[in-house]
Structure 1
Amino acid sequence: MNSNFQHKENGSAAADCSGPRYEVRNKIFYFLFLLSAAMGHEVFYITCLPCIHWNLDPFLCRRLVNMWTVVMYIGQVMKDLLKLPRPLSPPVVKLEMRVDAEYGLPSTHAMAATAISFTLLLSAPSRIQFQFEVGLLIAVTLSSLVGLSRLYTGMHSVLDVISGVLISALLLFLTYPFWETFDHLQLHSIFSPLVALSLPLFLSYTYPELDHYSTTRGDTTTILGAGAGCSVGYWVNQQLGQTFEPQGVLPVPLPALTADALARGVARFLVGVAAVVGTRQVVSTFSLKMLHSWYGVEKGDSSARRRREIEVPYKFITYTSVGLVNSIVANRLFVLLGLL
């Protein structure tokens, strides 16, 4: 990373306060790895993962969400239990300061990228006809780019990234034999909605406490809430007999990329993103107002949302709603608008 950046020091107090400044020497690497790093951020999870549900197969999205939730929770908890620091800056240049207060090992970006890429690779052959070698190449490339991006952005060490990949691979290996069983229970058990809501909420409230504020608890609650909402939504769809999954003999061929199919796919993406982002904004605003009123928090107290009694319920309610909209409402909007 250091070969692509140059520190610019002037010895002033302002420079010390703002941290090391830098100039980009290789714009191709800079934008490639920033884009790769974005695959581990909320904007990717709230747009691209649901897009698999809307435009490919809800079954595949369900598998991805389930594994993503498990892997990310374990990774986040490990960070705050091990308490191993991120690389020091200087000598590295850190490009993402929002999560700098988090601990380093393991890299949850690397964990998520590995889990998402290889869960899709392992699940897709039973649903879609494609060349496995091509899928494997894509999975390795995407997960490698995300892992390398964590080194480039200065947020993780090589050990952090390798640990994240290995932990994720171990979780995939241990859980893979039970995916079918869990899928059946998730869709058919009468207890599925209760477990899907109560267990993630319990895990959010019992998340390990730190001696300083970190974004890990809030981000973990976001992930658990989204997973809970999606799980309940998939159960509801199954009970209604409207799963919106491909019908007929499986695996089915990949849909032809015609102009009409592309236009419909783009339209579904735009409508779906508008629905989930709109839900996120409305529910988060409303839930925060209700919680601030309940706990007597002043309107302008922006730090109040860091308190457990506010952060956990507001994020859980918000992203459970997002998960429900993604899994239940979006496809019905597509039917109403003639996009399916």
Structure 2
Amino acid sequence: MSSHHEGTASPTPAAPPVKKAPEKEPRLDAGNKHHDHYARRLPPCRHAMRNYLLPIVRWETPYLALMQDKLRSPALDSYFAVTANLGTHTFYMVFLPILYWCGYTNIGRAMVHMLAAGIFFTGFIKDMLCLPRPLSPPLARITMSGSAALEYGFPSSHSSNAVSVAIYALYKLHSAREDHHPNVFLALQLLCYWFAISIVFGRLYCGMHGFLDVVVGSTFGGAIAVAQLIIEHSFDNWLFVTSPLPPLIITLVIFVLVRIHPEPADDCPCFDDTVSFVSVVIGINVGAWHYAMTGLAIDDPIPSTNPFRLETVGLPRATLRILLGVVVIFLWRATMKPTLFTVLPPIFRLLEQLRLNLPRAFFLNASKYTSIPTLRGDDNVIPSASELPNLLKNLAHPRKRSVSVGPQSAADAYETLAYRNRRRRESINSLDGAVQEDVAWSPVVKKASLRDLRSSSRQREKSPLGASPLPTPAASRVHSYEQMMGTGHVEGINITPDDSETELVTQSPAEAASEKREIFMQLMKPRVRYDVEVVTKLIIYSGIGYVAVCANPILFEFVGLGTGIRTGSI
């Protein structure tokens, strides 16, 4: 299960009032009849697209469970849980600044642009369509991240990031093939393929995504990598001019993109991650433009490159550069976060009074709180310094992982309820057919017991996936996984398939409300999110990008950790 967050949670939503359904209600997806959360929260167009794709997510779930059951082992659980960290925002945000400080500015800039595009587009679609992850049970979710399961499933951000990075790296590797020994060249190619395959397949193995999620996510990643390779040189030529207009345009465009990001139907952290990463794009472009204007940068291989030669700097000083750079970034974050949490709320209250605020769902308006408590676990991109010991401890014990079964987010809970309701409707329809068949064939109509009718209907009904069960072990396994879908096993609470089926046929409004309350009580309560957090992330992560590509390289020169370009030694 995901880790606990500090803060006061919003109350568990009450069951919607029972209303007389209009005639077109049966056209809604079965998951939105009775538990019609998404029908009420999403615009018709978004809701229609969700309904079109949701059956695919449900169809592939038992097959994912079958695959997971066939392949799972403790060693593979640990392997894919650990390698999933190579696709996280934290890994990239720690790794990318080092590329800048070691002279690989071209690779660092390309990586930031591709990853930000991947996070933005996949997060945009996630919040637009609100599609759940494949149901657990039957899947077990294996992760070392406390927040991953709280996001929607479609499409996979991990897959997009991994594929874009791998394709870009392979292209650059082939472009400089003559610079590498054949064995080294082969090893580097295999490393790229291993990186992408481990992360993409790992999302399936770990039960975090379905086939549709990773296919579409990987497609996005490939398209983003190709676009980056096509426009990177012309983009750099446009940016690095004496006029400050290009970085200003980039900043304004990103502000607009943040504003048009769709509102989700549930409290999903996709938007937070999007804001963090696109803010870094602002910072690295403003910072790169400024650093190019200082005269400290060189133009090889691209403008605004931080000069670096390991032979000149030496390994000890190079290590100190990296350590100092990381410390400065953490100091910036640790200083600015409490400062902005103090300065921004009064400004937001004033804007709210003037009706100039831009409220967002699941964020508390400044007029409704007086101060912001110390927040922990509120950042999925760069952890606070106080969390570093725990992260290092996890790295020291790589087998540590969490295996969760059952709903973990609001999206999971609503999907569990929706799937239960779908089975209810199918059971009722099957019972109706069983009654009519008994009447047609019996010379004397007898009053059958409800349990007998259920037994008869279960023998006649088709698989929920639309195909009759086949007498093969694999098909039998798939059918058993179908029966586990929507049971909602959480922390020792297990509604078995047989027990759930005996209760699926009829349900009163009071029972529906109790069922919904039971599911939501099993979830971790989300922390309060404050309206100033959006602007805070914009400022902090823009600053992190600026510090990484401009402020730190300048600092290195002035404290004697540079390459001596100021004295003309290079």
Name the TM tier (shorter chain).
Answer: 0.7 to 0.9
Amino acid of the structure 2 residue aligned with 1:78: I
Once the two structures are TM-superposed, the CA of residue 158 in structure 1 deviates from its matched residue by 2.6
Q: Does 1:230 align with 2:297?
A: no
Once the two structures are TM-superposed, the CA of residue 315 in structure 1 deviates from its matched residue by 0.8
Distance across 2 between alignment mates of 1:264 and 1:145: 34
Amino acid of the structure 1 residue aligned with 2:371: K
Task: Look up the match of 2:431.
Answer: none
CA displacement 1:26-58 (0-9 Å, x = unmatched): 24x333322321123232122101111112411
Once the two structures are TM-superposed, the CA of residue 271 in structure 1 deviates from its matched residue by 1.5
Residue 285 to residue 41, structure 1, CA distance change in 2 (3 Å): farther
Task: Look up the match of 2:82.
Answer: 35
Task: Look up the match of 2:296.
Answer: 242
Distance across 1 between alignment mates of 2:561 and 2:149: 42
Task: Look up the match of 1:76.
Answer: 123
Q: Does 1:298 align with 2:385?
A: no
Contact 1:68 1:112 survives alignment (8 Å): yes
Residue 247 to residue 195, structure 1, CA distance change in 2 (3 Å): closer
Amino acid of the structure 2 residue aligned with 1:139: C
In structure 2, which of residues 74, 78, 90 is the aligned counterpart of residue 26 of structure 1?
74
Distance across 1 between alignment mates of 2:107 and 2:259: 29
Contact 1:213 1:306 survives alignment (8 Å): no
Segment drifting more, 221-230 vs 150-159: 150-159
Q: Does 1:310 align with 2:532?
A: yes
Once the two structures are TM-superposed, the CA of residue 175 in structure 1 deviates from its matched residue by 4.4
Identity %: 25
Segment drifting more, 312-321 vs 99-108: 99-108
In structure 1, which of residues 132, 137, 145 is the aligned counterpart of residue 190 of structure 2?
137
Task: Look up the match of 2:551.
Answer: 329
Distance across 1 between alignment mates of 2:132 and 2:269: 15
Task: Look up the match of 1:86.
Answer: 133
Once the two structures are TM-superposed, the CA of residue 321 in structure 1 deviates from its matched residue by 0.6
Q: Which has the larger radius of gyration?
A: 2
Task: Look up the match of 2:160.
Answer: 111
Distance across 1 between alignment mates of 2:162 and 2:346: 39
Aligned positions of 1:139-288 closer than 5 A: 139-188=192-241, 190-243=244-297, 261-288=314-341
Task: Look up the match of 2:171.
Answer: 122
Q: Does 1:50 align with 2:97?
A: yes
Distance across 2 between alignment mates of 1:128 and 1:287: 51
Once the two structures are TM-superposed, the CA of residue 220 in structure 1 deviates from its matched residue by 0.2
Q: Which has the higher contact order (CA 8 A, sep 6+)?
A: 2
Distance across 2 between alignment mates of 1:100 and 1:265: 38
Contact 1:69 1:227 survives alignment (8 Å): yes
Once the two structures are TM-superposed, the CA of residue 160 in structure 1 deviates from its matched residue by 1.3
Residue 39 to residue 164, structure 1, CA distance change in 2 (3 Å): same
Task: Look up the match of 2:48.
Answer: none
Contact 2:128 2:263 survives alignment (8 Å): no
Distance across 1 between alignment mates of 2:528 and 2:233: 39
Distance across 2 between alignment mates of 1:187 and 1:2: 54
Once the two structures are TM-superposed, the CA of residue 181 in structure 1 deviates from its matched residue by 0.6
Residue 152 to residue 277, structure 1, CA distance change in 2 (3 Å): farther
Contact 1:65 1:227 survives alignment (8 Å): yes
Once the two structures are TM-superposed, the CA of residue 111 in structure 1 deviates from its matched residue by 0.6
Once the two structures are TM-superposed, the CA of residue 326 in structure 1 deviates from its matched residue by 0.5
Q: Give the structure with the higher percent helix.
A: 1
Residue 278 to residue 126, structure 1, CA distance change in 2 (3 Å): farther
CA displacement 1:157-209 (0-9 Å, x = unmatched): 13211221122112322443222111211222531221222111221122101
Residue 304 to residue 101, structure 1, CA distance change in 2 (3 Å): closer
Contact 2:106 2:301 survives alignment (8 Å): no
TM-score by length of 1: 0.81
Q: Does 1:60 align with 2:107?
A: yes
Segment drifting more, 77-86 vs 44-53: 77-86
